[in-house]
Structure 1
Amino acid sequence: MDKSQEEQEVEKKIAQYHNRQKILLNKKRSEEHRARPHRLIGRGAILEAVFPAVMEMEGEEVKAFLIALSRLPEAQELVKKAPKNEAAE
């Protein structure tokens, strides 16, 4: 194999690795994109199970309800005691 062929082979390998990197990054982004809706649906189901009344509420009513709950002293204490999540969501 002469020098030119060797360089072409190396460049081909580099291009293949770049393409593989792009594929992996796209796969990671796609998984992250699907994770958020999945998480929101799961948390919404928990909210409805704990507070069945929210099923009849509109979005702004649910928001006001949760804000009111979050302002209770007991809720503030629970937030302070909750383990900190190191991973960004």
Structure 2
Amino acid sequence: MHKEITTQAKQKKDEREEVLKEIRQLENRQKILENKQRNEERKARTRRLIERGAILEGIFPLAPDLPGVEVKAFLIALSHLPGAAELAAKLPKSGDKP
């Protein structure tokens, strides 16, 4: 009888260890997937910034020679021109399909 209880206790302990191992594996997999998603989001943002910077440089040839502060001031000044607010309001919102 005592041997049966010991065997059952060992089985339950082994089962518990297996479940804990599986939980750790799933948690690690979740971390890996979250890191992968963050990486892809970062790459997408980097690509978007590079593309928009290239567009800016293509339209305003002096932009590459200006420091970032001056480019920002220039864009702010453009945004204050008559009609700029109306034009910006007509642009699709971020996440909207064109």
TM-score with structure 2 length normalisation?
0.74
Q: 1 or 2 for the larger relative contact order (CA 8 Å, sep ≥6)?
A: 1
Unaligned runs of 5+ in 1: none
For residues 88 and 42 of structure 2, the distance between their equivalents in structure 1, rounded to whole angstroms, comes to 27
* Residue identity opposite 2:26 in structure 1: Y
Which of residues 61, 66, 69 in structure 1 aligns to 2:70? 61
* 2:22 match: 13
Give 1:6 deviation, angstroms.
Answer: 1.7
How many residues are treated as equivalent by the alignment? 87
Which of residues 64, 68, 80 in structure 2 aligns to 1:71? 80
For residues 24 and 69 of structure 2, the distance between their equivalents in structure 1, rounded to whole angstroms, comes to 51
Alpha-carbon deviations, 1:37-88, whole Å to 9, x = none? 222111100101122222232222212211111111221111111122248x
The reply to whether residue 31 of structure 1 matches residue 34 of structure 2 is no
Taking only aligned residues, the RMSD between alpha carbons, in angstroms, comes to 2.1
Q: Which one has the largest radius of gyration?
A: 2
* 1:80 match: 89
